[in-house]
Amino acid sequence: MSWDLNGLFRRHAKEVVRFLCRRGMNREAAHDLTQDAFVRLLAYNGRSDRSAGNPRALLFHVARNLSIDFYRRERLVQYADLTDEEFFAIPDLSPSVETIVYDQQRLAITAAALAELPERTRLAFELHRLGDMTINEVAEQLELSSTRTWTLIREAYHHIRQRLQAAAD
């Protein structure tokens, strides 16, 4: 058995808004939460395991829980009233298009430089730098001495640095 949500909305939406306003919510937030409550009720509709045979009671229960969540969020979030001038004065910290392109080019050069390395050198570098393994852990995995492992990693850094400098020139 499914509920007549359209009829339920027509009969009880205003009542839910008033209920939420009595709980201290402004009308705009109450309207928003009422819509959210009906969306949640829509998710319950048609489920055989629903605990409430009374959709109106479930609607108010959902609205009450949404209002509790709303007030919890309100306590955690700090709001600042800014004028348009203050808002537009906030610096945009995202990278510029030029920076993104430059970084992508350097990443491509680095990937190509890694591909040019001998297998063991590349693997040592990747395990240490990308795999967050210590020199000793890499040495153990590759069955090398830590001195030899550090030499391989240093060679990889040197090779990558040379390729990046050559591209910059």
Model-level pTM? 0.48
Nearest to 26 by CA among 17, 39, 35: 17
- The pLDDT assigned to 1 comes to 46
Nearest to 12 by CA among 60, 67, 44: 60
In tens, the pLDDT along 6-58 reads 888 889 999 999 999 999 899 999 999 999 998 888 777 656 555 557 888 88
In tens, the pLDDT along 145-167 reads 999 999 999 999 999 999 999 99
